[in-house]
Amino acid sequence: MSESALFNTYARYPITLVKGKGSRLWDDQGKQYLDFMSGLAVTSLGHVPESVKQALVKQLDELWHVSNLFSTPHAERAARLLVDNSCADAVFFCNSGAEANEAAIKLARRYHQKVRGENRYEVITFTQSFHGRTLATLTATGQDKVKEGFLPLPEGFVHVPLHDVPALEAAVNERTAAILLELVQAEGGVIPVAQDFLLKVREICDRHGLLLILDEVQTGMGRTGKLFAYQHYDVEPDIFTLAKGIGSGFPVGAMLAKQPYVSGFAPGAHATTFGGTPIAMSVVAATIETMLRDKVADRAAEAADYLIAQLRQHLDGVPGVTDIRGKGLLVGILCDSPAADAIAELHKRGLLVVPAGPNVIRLLPNLLVTHEEIDEAVGLIAAVLTERATAKQT
Domain ranges for the chain: 17-48+296-393, 63-293
Under the phi-then-psi rule, with left for phi > 0, alpha for psi from -120 to 50, and beta for the rest, what region is 337?
beta
Angstrom distances, CA of residue 303 to CA of 56, 65, 224, 251, 265: 28, 38, 11, 26, 40
What is this structure's pTM?
0.96
Helix (H, G, I), strand (E, B) or coil at 195: helix
CA 304 – CA 322 distance, rounded (Å): 19
Question: In CATH, what class is 63-293?
Answer: alpha beta
**pLDDT tens across the length of the chain (394 residues):** 468 999 999 999 999 999 999 999 999 999 999 999 999 999 999 999 999 999 999 999 999 999 999 999 999 999 999 999 999 999 999 999 999 999 999 999 999 999 999 999 999 999 999 999 999 999 999 999 999 999 999 999 999 999 999 999 999 999 999 999 999 999 999 999 999 999 999 999 999 999 999 999 999 999 999 999 999 999 999 999 999 999 999 999 999 999 999 999 999 999 999 999 999 999 999 999 999 999 999 999 999 999 999 999 999 999 999 999 999 999 999 999 999 999 999 999 999 999 999 999 999 999 999 999 999 999 999 999 999 999 887 7
* Architecture of the domain delimited by 17-48+296-393: Alpha-Beta Complex (3.90)
Report the C-alpha gap between 191 and 129 in whole angstroms: 10
| Residue 359 main-chain phi, psi, to 5 deg | -105, 5
| Cβ pair 136, 107 in contact under 8 A | no
Distance CA 121, CA 106 (A): 9
**Environment class of 9 (CB within 10 Å of its CB; exposed 0-12, middle 13-18, buried 19+):** exposed
**Distance (Å, whole) CA 301 – CA 22:** 18
Q: What are phi and psi of 161, to 5 degrees?
A: -65, 140
Residue 251 identity (one-letter amino acid): P
